[in-house]
């Protein structure tokens, strides 16, 4: 019985450790993605991508023009940066609200790094609406 409890406790710690970002990365980051004007050219459209990293949370929340989704992720050091991998959507499912599987569990979403102290995002399977090269997108809130 004690062995089963110890094994379960170790598994729970390992799972939570995979979610946690190193303390240097903890915080909220925001990227305001400008999509351009609407068809009548009277309103500028955008999507806000909010990234939350803490000892117990790794999530990307995207809201804006035709967008409303939350992705839960895991965060792990990769070289000098931090790689975020897909865990599930906000509801715990691995398919989106339309029942479509976009990502597989463990798939790299994006990588953050700080070359020269500048926060840089390298998009992987999670990308903004326009395919973008690595660059300064997120800003710490």
Strand partners, 62: 49, 69
What's the domain range around 33? Answer: 2-140
Q: Give how far Cα 97 sits from Cα of 19, 47, 50, 72, 90, Å.
A: 23, 18, 19, 14, 10
Per-residue pLDDT at 78 = 92
Could you identify the residue written with the tokens 């929340």?
Answer: 61
Amino acid 40: pLDDT: 77
Convert the pLDDT of each residue in 67-117 to its tens digit. 999 999 999 999 889 999 999 999 999 999 999 999 999 999 999 999 888
Residues 6+ apart with CB under 8 A from 77: 22, 83
76: left (phi over 0), alpha (psi -120 to 50) or beta: beta
Alpha-carbon gap, residue 26 to 81, rounded angstroms: 13
Count of domains observed in the chain: 1
User: pLDDT band at 19, cuts 50/70/90?
Assistant: low
């Amino acid at each position: 019985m004690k062995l089963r409890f110890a094994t379960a406790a170790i598994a729970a710690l390992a799972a939570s450790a995979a979610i946690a970002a190193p303390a240097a990365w903890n915080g909220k980051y925001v990227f305001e993605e400008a999509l351009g004007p609407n068809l009548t050219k009277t309103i500028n459209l955008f999507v806000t991508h909010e990234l939350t990293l803490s000892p117990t949370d790794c999530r990307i929340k995207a809201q804006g023009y035709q967008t409303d989704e939350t992705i839960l992720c895991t965060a792990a050091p990769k070289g000098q940066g931090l790689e975020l991998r897909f865990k599930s959507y906000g509801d715990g499912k691995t398919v989106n609200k339309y029942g479509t599987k976009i990502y597989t569990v463990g798939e790299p979403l994006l990588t953050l790094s700080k070359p020269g102290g500048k926060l840089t995002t390298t998009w992987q399977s999670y990308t903004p609406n326009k395919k973008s090269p690595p660059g300064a997108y997120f800003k710490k809130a």
